[in-house]
Amino acid sequence: MDFRPWFVMVLFSTSMLAGCFGEDDAINAGNEQMDVYADPWDRTNLVYDDSDVFARVTENGSYGIDAVRSVFVPVPSITVADGGAGLTGNAEVHLGLWLPVIEGCDWESGNVSEECQVPVIAEVGPYYNDGDVDALTPADRLGRMLIENYVPHGYGVAQVSVFGTGESNHCMDLMGTDEQRGIDAAVTWLGSQGWSNGNVGLIGKSYDGSTPWQAATFGNPHLATIVPMSGLIGVHELMWRNGSMEARGLIMHNGVYGSFGIDGDTEDVQNLCEGYIEGYVNAPAAYLSGGMVDYAGNDYWTSRSFLDQVIQNYNGSVYIIQGMQDWNVDPHMTFPTHQLVEEAGIEVKTLAGQWAHDYPDRISGHSTLPSGEGAEAYPYTLRWDWADEMLYWFDWYLKGEGRAPILGVEMQDNQGGWRFEATYPAEDTEYMVIGAADLNPSGAGMVTTTETITMTYGPFEEDLYIAGMPSFHIAVTPHTANGAHAFLDMTDSSGMHLGHAVMDFRFADGGRDGNEVLPAFSTVLGKMEFLPMDVFIPVGETITITMTQTGRDYVPSPGAAGGYSLNWAESELTLPIVYRTCDDLFQVPMHDYGDESDRLC
């Protein structure tokens, strides 16, 4: 049948849940404290407050919100060797802190009863006083949502400035070891105060979504959970993929964030640290090599790589939130990260919707996305249940209240349908291997600055989902040294974007290990992998893949002007496929249902 998954409103039965989660899980979910909170598939008919720019909890807390406190946290681990404020011995990070007003609790005394102790939710980033309000003012991007929703429910909320930004001194280190130690000091302070129950959770988006990953590298006993939204598992990992650099890779430290700490006051001298100076050298060096430039003991990029350390040291939980149409922080920050974290024994859940570089609940961003980049899924992208979802998560992991959330992946396809997968890619994924004879290539057999290759496959014989990271293997022969770079764009028969891949063929095997030199007229088998995608393909549809030298904001490899030839005999496209029907989908609460509530599959 030719269905559109965004026409779905499913009422889940026990048998249906058994199909999704396993029979035992479904029975337990039906019998154990179902009144504690509604799972996402049970929220369809719940009414949420959509009058503000962010989601609201369905039940307001009973506590008042106390006046903000301005706190400077000393960071003694910053020493003379780090330069900046290490030279004066007074490195410190600044934060604004909001606590609940609880009858009989005196926060100022520092000696409060156990009943008065509260956990803390913190957002840590560089934007307070630098492109946004100061740390003592609730920020519209997230702080106000956290303060107004969760302080009345018995949480402290903190807005923390990283080094070199806001009122924090020392250096703007762009996620380097200095910044990491400052974040860790803030977590320790928040978790060790007399009014704290000892548990801290970090949440944020973009840069503010990268600081939770940084904090988790330490194994700090106070860090109980992190919620990175479109956050970086590493700086080089974001801006280089398979040796291919995004244009911003050259300027992120020095051109974008390095100036945040230079504001004309007497503390400017404290920003002259080694990280800022090293940025001038390491960015162009990484472009020329494609790698992390880790020879001769250089650790500029490796010290800004977080995931391996998190897996080794972290003892809390992880809730990843990712826009599948995010071209700023691509979804390869989330997949296969989810599986790697899961395999390490860390409790992890992921919420992945078809929005861009945004929060799950913001109309202004979701409603303006173009076709092929989220428009088809709107307004089903909007998660007005997100404030509740976070409250349930924090209650369990910061207070030990409620019941354990069901872990896994809430995934939204490109047409708007939501489903739950135990992991991602799903365990029942099938891999459709398409050989050269079925790809129908058209073009001159080579790729240059003007010549491209187009290949097609289809029509598909049944409805299915391409769900995961498709791969395309192709043998290439550069005409000049280091002269092979490719961008793949997958579209449907209407020309709508489905997914993309990029590679500098010096890194033909993919990943971070490659050759800095690819000699002219030497042939390599490029094992390209698409960025994570989840797209519904109806029966009769045909896909097209266009191979160009570069695309979007990716920079061609240093010798790419010479172009390269292709050997189609060794080409192979592999599509990760899952089969799902309307019964596998659920509809979440949306802004202005209108007649949409009557839509069925």
Task: Give CA–CA dist 272/558, Å, rounded.
Answer: 31
Rg for the chain, CA atoms, rounded: 25
**Residues whose CB is less than 8 angstroms from the CB of residue 472 and which lie 6 or more positions away in sequence, other chains included:** 488, 501, 528, 529, 530, 545, 571, 572, 573, 574
Q: Which of 168, 152, 184 is nearest to 65 (CA)?
A: 152
Give residue 5's pLDDT: 35
Residue 515, φ and ψ in degrees, nearest 5: -115, 130
Residue of 99, 100, 36, 97 lying closest to 62 (CA atoms): 100
- Of the candidates 373, 471, 371, the residue with the CA atom closest to the CA atom of residue 431: 471
Amino acid type, 268: D
Same domain, 434 and 306: no
Instruction: Give CA–CA dist 530/552, Å, rounded.
Output: 14
* Residue 398 within a domain: no
Range with the poorest average pLDDT among 208-212, 249-253, 348-352, 517-521: 249-253
| Domain final position from 289, 315, 341 | 315
| Per-residue pLDDT at 267 | 56
Q: Which amino acid is at 491?
A: T
Token output for 466: 């391409």
Helices and strands (H and E) in the chain: how many: 11, 27
Place of tokens 């998660």: 383
DSSP type of residue 199: E
In a domain, 384, yes or no: no
Backbone angles phi, psi at 478, to 5 degrees: -70, 145
Residues 122 and 267 in one domain: yes
Q: Which of 590, 580, 594 is nearest to 3 (CA)?
A: 580
Q: Across-strand partners of 577? A: 430, 466
Classify residue 114: in a domain, yes or no: yes
What DSSP state is assigned to residue 356? S
CATH number of the domain residue 154 falls in: 3.40.50
Same domain, 437 and 306: no
pLDDT tens digits, one per residue of 500-526 = 999 999 999 998 888 888 899 999 999
Place of tokens 């007649």: 595
pTM score = 0.91
Beta strands across the sheet bearing 196-205:
69-74, 92-98, 156-161, 118-125, 196-205, 223-229, 317-323, 348-353, 408-412, 418-421, 585-586
Tell me: the pLDDT tens digits for 404-432? 999 999 999 999 999 999 999 999 999 99
d(CA 375, CA 416): 9
How confident is the model at residue 595, as a pLDDT?
Answer: 52
Among 270, 299, 315, which residue terminates a domain?
Answer: 315
Separation between Cα atoms, residue 105 and residue 69, nearest integer Å: 16
Residue 323 pairs with which residues in a beta bridge?
Answer: 353
Point out the least confidently predicted range of 60-69, 257-266, 269-278, 535-544.
257-266
Q: Is the dihedral of CA 189, 195, 200, 203 positive or negative?
A: negative
Phi/psi at 131 (5° precision): 90, 0
Reference 503, options 564, 444, 460, 454; nearest CA is 564
Cα(382)–Cα(418) distance, integer angstroms: 11
Token pair, residue 320, equals 């990843």
Residue 501 lies in a domain: yes
Same-domain status, 290 and 435: no
* 44-98 pLDDT, tens digit each: 888 899 999 999 999 999 999 999 999 999 999 999 888 888 888 999 999 999 9
432's tokens: 């459709």
Domain membership flag for residue 276: yes
Find the farthest-apart pair of alpha carbons in the chain and give their distance in angstroms, rounded: 79
332, 532 contact by CB (below 8 A): yes
Crossing angle for the helix pair 207-216 and 177-192, to the nearest 10 degrees: 80
Q: State which residues form the domain around 572.
A: 430-582
Q: Tell me the C-alpha distance between 570 and 448, whole Å.
A: 20
Domain CATH number, residue 567 = 2.60.120.260
590 inside domain: no
To the nearest 10°, report the CA torsion of 100, 102, 107, 109.
Answer: 180
Task: State the chain's mean pLDDT as an integer.
Answer: 88
Provide DSSP, 287-352.
Answer: HHHSS---GGG--TTGGGB-HHHHHHH--SEEEEEEETT-SSS-GGGTTTHHHHHHHTT--EEEEE
pLDDT digits (tens, 9 = 90+) for 82-139: 888 888 899 999 999 999 999 999 888 777 889 999 999 999 999 999 888 999 999 9
Q: Answer yes or no: is 16 within a domain.
A: no
Which residues, including other chains, have CB under 8 Å from residue 287's CB and lie 6 or more apart?
245, 249, 250, 555, 558
Q: Which of 447, 449, 466 is nearest to 457 (CA)?
A: 466
315, 338, 358 — which closes off a domain?
A: 315
What is the per-residue burial (b if ≥16 Cβ within 10 Å, else e) of 117-127?
Answer: bbbbbbbbbbb
Whether residue 446 has pLDDT greater than 60: yes
**Is residue 213 included in any domain, yes or no?**
yes
CA 505 to chain centroid, in Å, comes to 26
The model's confidence at residue 266, banded by pLDDT at 50, 70 and 90, is: low
- Please check whether residue 83 is in contact with residue 274, taking contact to mean a CB–CB distance below 8 angstroms: yes
Provide the 8-state DSSP code for 265: S
Total number of domains constituting the chain: 2
**Tokens 């609460």 -> residue:** 589
Residues 438 and 309 reside in one and the same domain: no
